[in-house]
Structure 1
Amino acid sequence: MSLALSYAPKPRPFARRALPVSSRPAGRFLSRVLDGSSPSDVQKVGLIRKNGKCRKEVRLLRTWFQKLSDISSLASTEATLKDALTDAVRELGFDCYAYLNIQPVRTTAISNYRHEWQQRYFERGYKDIDPVVTTARARMEAFTWAPESPRKLSSRVRAFYAEAGDWGIRSGITIPIRTAFGHMSMLTVASHKPSLSLEHDIDQLAAVTAVALLHAKLEQHEPEPTARAPVELTARQALCLKWSAEGKSMKAIAAIEGMSFATVNFHLNNARKALDAGSLPQATALATKLKLI
């Protein structure tokens, strides 16, 4: 049976083949509309279908975030975690992932982007112009992204997007989280597609919870980054910092190395600036952690 009218002397412009009757009101509405209706009714059908698609997208992402939480909880080794992340990202329909731990000087990445692109990203300081990082800092919530109209972008950002696109990174989802001492980490899943079809808000709680668990697991394993921001100290800066880390005062360092007090102070100050440290103790701690001394 059908709810389609059994007679129609003058078929209307929007006439369609009758659909099977559904016991639900939405099904009866669809059947009536597609048999013969006004343009406004057809728009309502489109809205119903769009809403159904949005609900499906939300459920899919929520399930994926739960899977990411499970992976973070169960992975016992660095290799297991990275392999599971790669598989999960592909199951979601994306190509690759990048986890950025953004801190002064020692920003690091764990990613399966092409190694050449990761190295180029850090060597050229792209973190400072990357619109995804800028948006993550400003919003601190999960969001989708794709290049805007070229006329709205600066020449540097246009060049950055074009280069990223050459490496197959054209759109994605990014979830930033606040970490200890006011720092930020973010997980990005990226696609070669020029835009995403996601049309509904992301479940923020599920997204942040999943990435927070991932961050905790990575902090626990302390994996070797796949790329990091380059930090360099001169030989004398490293030497003076090493003596400082050993508990020597600037006066003692000057006497040991045969330098003037002013020279030691000069090298230590430059080392502190190179490490973006607020104090000499912080500079020595950073240099030690980065294995520069």
Structure 2
Amino acid sequence: MRYLDCHLGNLIDALAVCQNEDAVQFALKCLATNAGCTHYSYVELRPAGHRVCSTYPVDWQERYIEQNYITLDPTVIQAGRTMRPVPWSYADKHRYDDKTRLFFEEARKFGIASGIILPIRAGFGTTVFLSLATEREATNKIAVRDRAYAATAVAFVHSSFMRLSKTVLGANDVPLSPRELHCAAWAAMGKTKAETGSMLGLSEKTVRFYLERVREKLNATNVTHAVRIGTMRNLF
């Protein structure tokens, strides 16, 4: 096994001083290079949509989305189920069924033959995956000794993207209170006012008040419009 732990410390240090998203992406490229990999992929799976930042070939990214491979990819499925790092290699394809073996064959043609995927749970139903991959069929897989440390590193990546995205999109210009943000975030996930109130310990009337405040601050025509604006601006 080739252990990733020492490189994760360097990643955390780099992220602590990042001032823009380009710097975060550069830190991830350095992580991949130091780990002996050629690609990285950062993915947020949200109930209301996905966010992807990746150096995988564009044709492969488009193919992956077009074929909905996220429902077939055994590394994503296992990592999402166990919330543990999953080392993988094309050399292990014999363990899977024919359809999954064809998936590995196709990925290999795009220069993706082995790697590791690191998952975490984030807020409001979001799951985050950080993957490293190389074109080599690794018999000496990448692994981590300290799963908690790996999760911390992925959380740093996630928080960096969230913080810097909000800066770019002007989120700080909209002074939403924590309660307003919570109510709007649950509304974005399709929760009713009663359901949101139950989760936050508030009355339905109070939730309605907070959502109306969000609507006013975002200059929206209604709450649905406000949620749409907030989601587009990455406010919650």
TM over 0.5: yes
Q: 1:179 to 1:121 in 2, by over 3 A?
A: same
Counterpart among 40, 56, 76 of residue 113 in structure 1: 56
**8 Å CA contact 2:75, 2:86 repeated in 1:** no
Secondary structure, aligned partner of 2:49 = coil
Superposition pairs of residues 246-285 of structure 1, within 5 angstroms: 277=190
**Change in 2 beyond 3 A, CA 1:63/1:149:** closer
Q: Is 2:39 aligned against 1:96?
A: yes
Counterpart for residue 63 of structure 1: 6
* TM-score for the superposition, normalised by structure 2: 0.68
- Conservation of the 8 A alpha-carbon contact between 2:43 and 2:130: yes
1:218 aligns with 161
Contact preservation (8 Å) 1:99, 1:186: yes
CA deviation map 1:199-245 (0-9, x unaligned) = 8753112211111111100111229xxxxxxxxxxxxxxxxxxxxxx
Provide the identity percentage. 26
Runs of 5+ consecutive residues of structure 2 not aligned to the other structure? 167-187, 194-221
Letter in 2 for 1:117: W
What is the aligned counterpart of 1:122 among 61, 65, 87? 65
Match for residue 82 of structure 1? Answer: 25
Distance 1:105 1:158, change over 3 A: farther
The structure richer in strand per residue is 2
RMSD: 2.8
For 1:8, the equivalent position in structure 2 comes to none
Q: Is the 8 A contact 2:115 2:133 kept in 1?
A: yes
Of 133, 154, 175, the match for 2:76: 133
Larger radius of gyration: 1
Alignment of 1:113-192 (within 5 A): 113-147=56-90, 150=93, 152-192=95-135
TM-score normalized by structure 1?
Answer: 0.55
Structure 1 unaligned spans of 5+: 1-53, 224-274
Per the alignment, in what secondary structure is the counterpart of residue 47 of structure 2? coil
The residue identity in structure 1 corresponding to 2:145 is: I
Higher relative contact order (CA 8 A, sep 6+): 2
Seen in structure 2, the aligned counterparts of structure 1 residues 69 and 200 have a Cα distance that, compared at 3 Å, is closer
SS in structure 2 of the partner of residue 182 of structure 1: coil
Alpha carbons of 1:131 and 1:72: their partners in 2 closer, same or farther (altered >3 Å)? same
Shift of 1:72: 1.4
